[in-house]
Structure 1
Amino acid sequence: MAEELNPETPEETEEPIKQRKNGLYGSVSDELAENMKSGWADTALHGLEPIAQAGHTAERRAALSARFPGERLVIPAGNLKTRSNDTEYSFRASTEYAYLTGDQTHDGVLVLEPTGASGHEATLYLLPRSDRENGEFWLDGQGELWVGRRHSLTEAEQLLGIPAKDVRELPAALTEATGPVRAVRGHDAGIEAALTDKVTAERDEELRVFLSEARLVKDAFEVAELQKACDSTARGFEDVVRVLDKAEATSERYIEGTFFLRARVEGNDIGYGSICAAGPHATTLHWVRNDGAVRSGELLLLDAGVETTELYTADVTRTLPINGRYNELQRKIYDAVYEAQEAGIAAVKPGAAYRDFHDAAQRVLAEKLVEWGLLEGSVERVLELGLQRRWTLHGTGHMLGMDVHDCAAARTEAYVDTTLEPGMCLTVEPGLYFQADDLTVPEEYRGIGVRIEDDILVTEDGNRNLSDSLPRQADEVEAWMAGLKG
């Protein structure tokens, strides 16, 4: 990895480039500085078409404007975050910002300026192309020759359908602004500092809650993106099955890397840390170390999702027999979870209570645990006391969208206590987990974990399983794996 000539990024200045701090390789001569200013072809882009979701983002901003008339609204994308020393994590724009703009660049800020008692004028504050006159494009670590070309402000306006200005002018403008302001917090400390005496936590939280609840019902663009994410995810699962022999020779990391390749080729990234849990690791709900052995005869719980280039993620789990065949006990546990998932999916429909799918799946699992002699008493008593939760552990699902746990800031009454509507998308993911050290179950159960998860869209007349291209029933899973392994 190349090292910057001047590793410290200076403040913007009109001073000659030679007055910037010298880097490890010495100062920049006047002659070189002048040489680097000229001799470059014009690379401006012309006639750009708006991005596919421009109309949808305009509608979302209109809804936001209607909710907070007469108030200035500030929604940042966020900044680069240091991973170690002088390297940064890959940037992912804040969900609120990307949802309202379609832009994914760091340091961007959307400002909705009130135009009167009602209505707003939207402006995107962005970093323009890196400057050739002051040398930023080749001396700054975020300059064009280091990290690639940014769009000009004019190009950004054409693509996003929003007027654009230089974000470096924004802090001063916000400091001087008057009137009520709300901002989405937690993404840009500089913007928050400029608004310190203008915002309150309570008012800002209302903005965050509104933007979370606005995503509960997906529009047509979002549904298409979620389907795309599920389709790519299915191909990623196929990739994993094809290389299980290589994973056995190495570790869970081979599975993780294999799925990641699909996510990067067909999307932006993985939507969350992949859970590649083989053997007893499957009983750890969020096993993301992925450094364990992969052994024939055990199960692999693979929970992974591709995030599309527009930042919508799938969230799918399959529990696969590593050698291609479930043994008798594995199949018994798997079939119980499958039956629970079937009951949960059947409960997803418009007008149903959000909690219905969880209750339906938990009832099936409680019945199985009583039937197997692991719990005593009636199923009603087990459910009333929640005794099944020793082995079911988690809720049966959550909303899905731009975040894997989407709409997380929504009010209880708008989310878990609401009724389902067409356009909502949620996961249905029951599981049974028998810990390796659980002395309350027969020894042969210990270390077995099973979860099955699909992404379910509420439709006008029921639901649609967006991830149904991956088999779920045990016989179908075995046949699918056999076909992929050849």
Structure 2
Amino acid sequence: MSEQATSEQTPPSTQKQPQSVVNRRQPYPQGFLDTISQGWAERPEQMPPLREQAPYAAARRAAVSEAFPGKRLVIPAGSLKQRSNDTDYPFRAHSAFTHLTGWASDAEPDSVLVFEPNGDGHDVTLYFRERADRTTAEFYADATIGEFWIGPRPALPGIAGELGVATAHLDAFEPGEDDLVVDEHDDLTRFVSELRLTKDAYEVAQMRLAIQVTADGFDDIIRELPRIIEHPRGERLVEGVFHQRARSDGNWEGYDTIAASGPHACFLHWTRNDGPVLPGDLILIDAGAEVDSLYTADITRTLPVSGTFTPIQRRVYETVREAADAAFAVARPGVRFREVHAAAMEVLARRTAEWGLLPVTAEEALDADRGGQHRRYMVHGTSHHLGLDVHDCAQARREMYYDGVLEPGMVFTIEPGLYFQIDDLTVPEEYRGIGVRIEDDILLTEDGPVNLSSALPRTADEVEAWMARLRG
């Protein structure tokens, strides 16, 4: 990465030196300053067509406007976040901003969507930093926003035409004392989160796309298993193989990939991914591609590294699948969200009791007040909403989420698991170090649940056949 070249010299009077330009390395010679603004071809303004998501975003804005009459609302996209010194993490706009604008992977940092009350509703304006004029020092000297460094920024008319919303330069935005700001005002933050609980047709299509890219990434991993096994940090190779697919066919990963092999699979959010992938072990891969619209998948498959399950691995795996199937069976419109989890827990309590792992009966373990002994082996929940965030709608009220009623258009995961830590003396030695999770992405329709990720094999037999086919 080239160093930021900034100037302590005063540019020509026609140029405005941005405050962020501070000399640390190379001053610009006067000849450069005298000529840098000259000799550039005209850039004709093109008016791109309205984006597919624009009408859906407009409907969402209308719902927000109706919910907050007379209030000035501010939804920031967010700013770049520092990784180290003068390098930043890749920018990703706030999910509420993306949901209400339709501006996704190409959104500009520091942009702000503003709802200005007008008596009949709101005038909505999208403020962002337009491309720098080539007569400004910002054009060549500011490594954060200058075109020479990061490429051209979009023009106001073009974004207005693509998104179907009025635009203005960021310099024209003035915050007000009574503004309701997302993530600073509870009612607004909660409303825009709950607005995403049900998905429209555009969102469902994007979810399907993200799931397809993710499925292709799992295929890639299986094909690369011989190379992965040979490397002392094979988990890193799993992560890298999936990253290549997520970046080539999408935007990024929706969350840090979990590539947990052997006993690492018992750590629910193992993202260090620095261990080996050894024949005879299971590897739990929890990964999701985020596409350019910023919608993400969230899928987990647990694979036998050798290609076939041992008898004890198969027993644990098929029990987890049984729990997932039970959860799927109860997911219907009108059912409480928490009942999906309860159905999975009934299976896991019954099976772990049958195996002699519990100090009580399955019925006692399932007692709401005095039970829970089986939760030692699955401490997480079975489901969460999914969409722009991997844990979507996280600021929704409990009565709308965990205690809420399932409705058509909701997209959520079903992901039971069993995890027997390597040093857990409550289970026989043959179970220790085995971690299994199966996670699918579910769309609820009027007729019941649809498994959007069903193309990825789920049963133990199907997984073994899948691996044999891809590995030749």
User: Normalised by the shorter chain, which TM-score bucket?
Assistant: over 0.9
Secondary structure of the residue aligned to 1:112 is strand
Matches within 5 A, 1:65-144: 65-103=65-103, 104-116=107-119, 118-141=120-143, 142-144=145-147
Shift of 1:51: 1.4
Deviations 1:444-476 (A, max 9, x none): 110000000000000011011010110000001
2:383 to 362, 376, 397: 397
Shift of 1:44: 3.4
TM-score after normalising by structure 1: 0.92
Contact 1:336-1:365 at 8 Å conserved across structures: yes
Shift of 1:35: 1.2
Shift of 1:160: 1.2
Q: Distance in 1 between matches of 2:7 and 2:322?
A: 58
Structure 1 gap ranges (5+): 186-200
Shift of 1:28: 3.8
Q: State the match for 2:165 in structure 1.
A: 162
Contact 2:327-2:340 at 8 Å conserved across structures: yes
Q: Distance in 1 between matches of 2:137 and 2:461?
A: 64
Deviations 1:60-119 (A, max 9, x none): 000000000011000000011110011110000000101100222211000000011x41
Paired AA for residue 247 in structure 1: I
Seen in structure 2, the aligned counterparts of structure 1 residues 396 and 160 have a Cα distance that, compared at 3 Å, is: same
Secondary structure of the residue aligned to 1:355 is helix
Q: State the match for 1:355 in structure 2.
A: 338
Matches within 5 A, 1:153-192: 153-170=156-173, 173-175=174-176, 180-185=178-183
The percent of aligned pairs where both chains have the same amino acid is 50
Shift of 1:42: 2.0
Q: State the match for 1:56 in structure 2.
A: 56
Q: State the match for 1:188 in structure 2.
A: none
Paired AA for residue 259 in structure 1: F
Secondary structure of the residue aligned to 1:79 is coil
Secondary structure of the residue aligned to 2:285 is strand
Q: How many residues align?
A: 459
Seen in structure 2, the aligned counterparts of structure 1 residues 16 and 90 have a Cα distance that, compared at 3 Å, is: closer
Runs of 4+ in 1 over 6 A off after TM superposition: none
Q: Distance in 1 between matches of 2:225 and 2:44?
A: 48
RMSD, aligned α-carbons? 1.7
Q: State the match for 1:481 in structure 2.
A: 467
Q: Distance in 1 between matches of 2:289 and 2:211?
A: 7
Q: State the match for 1:189 in structure 2.
A: none
Seen in structure 2, the aligned counterparts of structure 1 residues 158 and 215 have a Cα distance that, compared at 3 Å, is: same
Q: State the match for 1:468 in structure 2.
A: 454
Alignment pair present for 1:216 and 2:197: yes
Seen in structure 2, the aligned counterparts of structure 1 residues 7 and 110 have a Cα distance that, compared at 3 Å, is: farther
Contact 1:422-1:460 at 8 Å conserved across structures: yes
Secondary structure of the residue aligned to 1:50 is coil
Paired AA for residue 112 in structure 1: F
Contact 1:217-1:424 at 8 Å conserved across structures: yes
Q: Distance in 2 between matches of 1:443 and 1:378?
A: 22
Shift of 1:169: 2.5
Q: Distance in 1 between matches of 2:75 and 2:25?
A: 38
Deviations 1:142-181 (A, max 9, x none): 21110011111111111111111111221xx325xx7x42
Q: Distance in 2 between matches of 1:62 and 1:383?
A: 45
Paired AA for residue 379 in structure 1: A
Q: Distance in 1 between matches of 2:27 and 2:133?
A: 22
Contact 2:7-2:28 at 8 Å conserved across structures: no
Q: Distance in 1 between matches of 2:78 and 2:411?
A: 26
Contact 1:213-1:414 at 8 Å conserved across structures: yes
Q: Distance in 2 between matches of 1:231 and 1:419?
A: 28
Q: State the match for 1:368 in structure 2.
A: 351
Q: State the match for 1:229 in structure 2.
A: 210
Secondary structure of the residue aligned to 1:317 is strand
Q: State the match for 1:323 in structure 2.
A: 306
Secondary structure of the residue aligned to 1:234 is helix
Q: State the match for 2:283 in structure 1.
A: 300
Shift of 1:287: 0.1
Shift of 1:39: 1.2
Alignment pair present for 1:24 and 2:31: no
Contact 2:18-2:137 at 8 Å conserved across structures: no
Q: Distance in 1 between matches of 2:17 and 2:460?
A: 67
Contact 2:18-2:138 at 8 Å conserved across structures: no
Q: Distance in 1 between matches of 2:216 and 2:7?
A: 41
Secondary structure of the residue aligned to 2:256 is coil
Q: Distance in 1 between matches of 2:158 and 2:52?
A: 15
Shift of 1:347: 1.1
Secondary structure of the residue aligned to 1:301 is strand
Deviations 1:227-261 (A, max 9, x none): 11111100000000001111111120000000000
Q: Distance in 2 between matches of 1:401 and 1:296?
A: 35
Contact 1:77-1:94 at 8 Å conserved across structures: yes
Shift of 1:135: 2.3
Q: Distance in 1 between matches of 2:15 and 2:471?
A: 64
Structure 2 gap ranges (5+): none
Contact 2:47-2:157 at 8 Å conserved across structures: no
Contact 2:15-2:137 at 8 Å conserved across structures: no
Seen in structure 2, the aligned counterparts of structure 1 residues 417 and 94 have a Cα distance that, compared at 3 Å, is: same
Seen in structure 2, the aligned counterparts of structure 1 residues 372 and 122 have a Cα distance that, compared at 3 Å, is: same
Shift of 1:18: 11
Matches within 5 A, 1:183-332: 183-185=181-183, 204-250=185-231, 251-332=234-315
Q: Distance in 1 between matches of 2:332 and 2:439?
A: 17
TM-score after normalising by structure 2: 0.94
Secondary structure of the residue aligned to 1:395 is coil
Alignment pair present for 1:414 and 2:416: no
Shift of 1:21: 4.5
Q: Distance in 1 between matches of 2:74 and 2:457?
A: 45
Q: State the match for 1:192 in structure 2.
A: none
